[in-house]
Amino acid sequence: MKMTRFDFIIVGSGAGGLSAALHASRYGTVAVVTKRGALDSNSNWAQGGIACVTSDEDSIEQHVQDTLIAGAGLCNEAAVRTIVTEGPERIDELVNWGVHFDQKEAKDGHLEFDLTREGGHSQRRVLHAADATGREISEKLLAAVRAEPNITLLENHFAIDLITTSKLGYVSEDRVLGLYVLRESDDTVVTLRSDRVILATGGSGRVYLYTTNPRVATGDGVAMAWRAGASVANMEFIQFHPTCLYHPERRSFLITEAMRGEGARLVDKEGNEFMHKYDPRGSLAPRDVVARAIDHEIKRTGGPCVYLDISHKPADFVTAHFPTIYKNLLEVDIDITKDPIPVVPAAHYQCGGVQTDINGATRIRGLCAVGEVGCTGLHGANRLASNSLLECVVLSHRAVNHLLRKLPMGREEALPIEVPPWQTGDAEDNDELVVIYHNWDEIRRLMWDYVSIVRTTKRLQRAAARLRNLKREVQEFYWNFRITSELLELRNLVETASLIVECAIRRHESRGLHYTLDYPEKDDTRPPEDQVVRRY
Report yes or no: 503 and 232 within 8 Å, Cβ to Cβ.
yes
Report yes or no: 237 and 204 within 8 Å, Cβ to Cβ.
no
What's 516's DSSP letter?
B
Closest CA to 201 of 160, 229, 166, 239: 160
Q: Given the residues 206, 260, 287, 491, select the one marked as catalytic.
A: 287
Give the C-alpha separation, 309 to 341, whole Å. Answer: 6
Supply the DSSP string of 281-337, one letter for each residue: TGGGS-HHHHHHHHHHHHHHH--S-EEEE-TTS-HHHHHHH-HHHHHHHHTTT--TT
In DSSP terms, 516 is beta-bridged to: 455
Identify the sign of the CA torsion 504, 507, 508, 511: negative
Angle, CA 401 vertex, CA 400 and CA 404 arms, to 5°:
90
User: Greatest CA span in the chain, whole angstroms?
Assistant: 73
Report yes or no: 54 and 391 within 8 Å, Cβ to Cβ.
no
Report yes or no: 331 and 199 within 8 Å, Cβ to Cβ.
no
Alpha helices in 243-303 (DSSP H): 258-261, 287-301
- The answer to whether 90 is a known catalytic residue is no
Closest CA to 184 of 486, 507, 460, 433: 486
Give the C-alpha separation, 384 to 415, whole Å. Answer: 43
In DSSP terms, 51 is beta-bridged to: 126
Report yes or no: 354 and 12 within 8 Å, Cβ to Cβ.
no
Strand pairing of 103-105 and 50-51? unpaired
Cα torsion 184, 190, 195, 197 to 10°: value is 10
Give the C-alpha separation, 48 to 507, whole Å. Answer: 31
Q: Is 4 helix (H, G, I), strand (E, B) or coil?
A: strand
Which residues are marked as active site?
287
